[in-house]
Amino acid sequence: MTALTTTATSIRSAEVLVSSPSRNFVTVRITTEDGVVGLGDATLNGRELAVASYLRDHVAPLLVGRDAHRIEDTWQLLYRSAYWRRGPVTMSAIAAVDMALWDIKARLAGVPLYQLLGGASRSGALVYAHASGSDLASLGDSVRARLEEGHRAIRLQVAVPGMGAMYGVAAAVAGRYAYEPAKRAGLAVEEGWDSARYMRHLPGVFEWARAEFGPEVLLLHDAHHRLTPIQAARLGRDLEPYDLFWLEDCTPVENQESLRLVRRHTTTPLAIGEVLNSVWDFRTLIQEQLIDFVRASVTHAGGITGLRRIFDFAALYDIRSGSHGPTDISPVGMAAALHLDLAIHNFGIQEYMEHQPLAGEVFRTSYSFADAMLHPGDQPGLGVDYDDVAAERFPYEPAYLPTARLADGTVHDW
Ligand code: CS2
Ligand code: MG
């Protein structure tokens, strides 16, 4: 396949669109010779322009003239011919191209994408929302607001007395929930961390939450990679009476063997994977059944093709999906995740942090929320359109994720 023959479905252009409606997003738009358009999400929080350059300078030239229908072949070409494989930049770039090609294929077929992935296995994707507070009173208000919106699964994050600003706690929880860790102003935002204080505080928070909200609501928590294996084992055990749906990212994920130790000590379900990028990255975690939920994202793990590979592998070991869905997954990425959620058999739950209204001015979505679930909608393709005119108003703004430091100044996992 060296000479490319131009047909109606040949790729005419692959554009990289960077915009910042409330936060930065990188979007790929692929257009075929007959004018069919597909979108993909390539947003890598805090490192957006690296992926934009990878796509614009190194991937787009390879795509022009190729048949948009050849999704698997294009995935393998971008993965294998790069030689330098895996990693978040490469896999986010491949992900965006993959999503855009699936979008095109489904638009050409005139069906919502989930139909091409096997059709719907369920009526919608159960989502979990975020609630947080600087103390139990404000956390309670935040949880009640999510319950009133119709959510049944809620992630709780709370400030720890004496520790200052920390991951997952929104500055103000009144009205619309808005948490965005990547700060546009002041590039050196620092947060504190103290594992001992955190571990002493957290079980009481969940004891309170169960007493306050009863046994039915699904409760989740994200430890954001900060504990040692033995600390994670202890925390998981201490949280067992409160029946968490999952404890997320309890240890730094590079050392997968450390999860053996955590597993030996606790039956609290474990979810891991938002910083992993390929099925190979999950091998130990899945084959040894060290986790209960795969937390990868469609945007950072090679798109629909890459993420489906991970979910299918996990299914062999009774491990369910739990797609990453914070605001740094764009509406395009969220739509792609939802189509996959609807189609796969081993679906677990989908994270859902609503985007700010400004994002809706650039991205026109067709997914909808009802009965604690999101449905991707029934428009052909992913069901998302991009408004170039609106995007002009929101140019890229540098934004960085914070650093966490221990009391003595040592940098810790953020
Ligand atoms: C988080 C994210 O959604 C989650 O579970 O861990 O908020 C994460 O911090 C961001 O995606 C980082 O960009
Ligand atoms: Mg997380």
Nearest atom in ligand 1 to 224's CA: 6
CA pair distance 94, 119, nearest whole angstrom: 24
Please give the helix or strand (H or E) that residue 129 lies within, else none: strand 125-133
Question: Which listed CATH number (3.20.20.120, 2.40.400.10, 3.40.190.10, 3.10.450.50) goes with 116-378?
Answer: 3.20.20.120
Nearest atom in ligand 1 to 155's CA: 5
Q: State the ligand closest to the CA atom of 88.
A: 1
Q: Specify the residue for token string 């650039």.
A: 362
CA pair distance 80, 104, nearest whole angstrom: 23
Q: Pinpoint the alpha helices (H) of 136-190.
A: 136-149
DSSP SS3 for 22:
coil
Give the residue with greater pLDDT, 181 vs 244: 244
Q: What is the pLDDT of residue 164?
A: 81
Which of 179, 184, 222, 300 to probe ligand 1 with, by most ligand atoms within 8 A of CB? Answer: 222
Give me the sign of the Cα torsion angle 335, 340, 343, 344: negative
**CA-wise closest residue to 412 among 178, 196, 185:** 196
Identify the band that residue 91 occupies on the pLDDT scale cut at 50, 70 and 90.
Answer: very high
Q: Which residues line ligand 1 (CB under 6 A)?
A: 45, 181, 222, 224, 274, 324, 326, 328, 351, 401
Q: State the ligand closest to the CA atom of 182.
A: 1
Active site residue 224: yes
CA pair distance 67, 85, nearest whole angstrom: 23
Q: Which residues contact 146 (CB under 8 A, 6 or more apart)?
A: 129, 130, 131, 154, 177
Q: How far is the CA of 182 from the centre of ligand 1 (A)?
A: 10
Q: What tens digit of pLDDT does each residue of 17-63 get? A: 999 999 999 999 999 999 999 999 999 999 999 999 999 999 999 99
pLDDT exceeds cutoff 80 at 302: yes
Nearest CA residue ID for atom 8, ligand 1: 326
Q: What tens digit of pLDDT does each residue of 325-355 get? A: 999 999 999 999 999 999 999 999 999 999 9
The one catalytic residue in 114, 128, 167, 367 is: 167
Give me the sign of the Cα torsion angle 351, 357, 359, 362: positive
Nearest atom in ligand 1 to 130's CA: 3
Q: Which residues pair with 124 in a beta bridge?
A: none
Nearest CA residue ID for atom 3, ligand 1: 326
Q: What is the pLDDT of residue 398?
A: 94
Q: State the ligand closest to the CA atom of 299.
A: 1
| Every domain of the chain and the residues it spans | 116-378
Q: What is the mean pLDDT of residues 297-305?
A: 98
Q: What is the pLDDT of residue 186?
A: 67
Q: Specify the residue for token string 């509406």.
A: 331
Q: What tens digit of pLDDT does each residue of 154-206 get? A: 999 999 998 888 899 987 655 678 888 888 876 778 999 999 999 999 999 99
Q: What is the pLDDT of residue 172?
A: 62
Which of 92, 191, 274 to probe ligand 1 with, by most ligand atoms within 8 A of CB? Answer: 274
Q: What is the pLDDT of residue 4?
A: 76
Q: What is the pLDDT of residue 183?
A: 84
Active site residue 167: yes
Q: How far is the CA of 180 from the centre of ligand 1 (A)?
A: 9
Report the mean per-residue pLDDT for the chain. Answer: 96
Q: How far is the CA of 168 from the centre of ligand 1 (A)?
A: 8
Nearest atom in ligand 1 to 297's CA: 11
pLDDT exceeds cutoff 90 at 296: yes
Question: To the nearest whole percent, how much of the chain has pLDDT over 70?
Answer: 98
Q: What is the pLDDT of residue 3?
A: 64
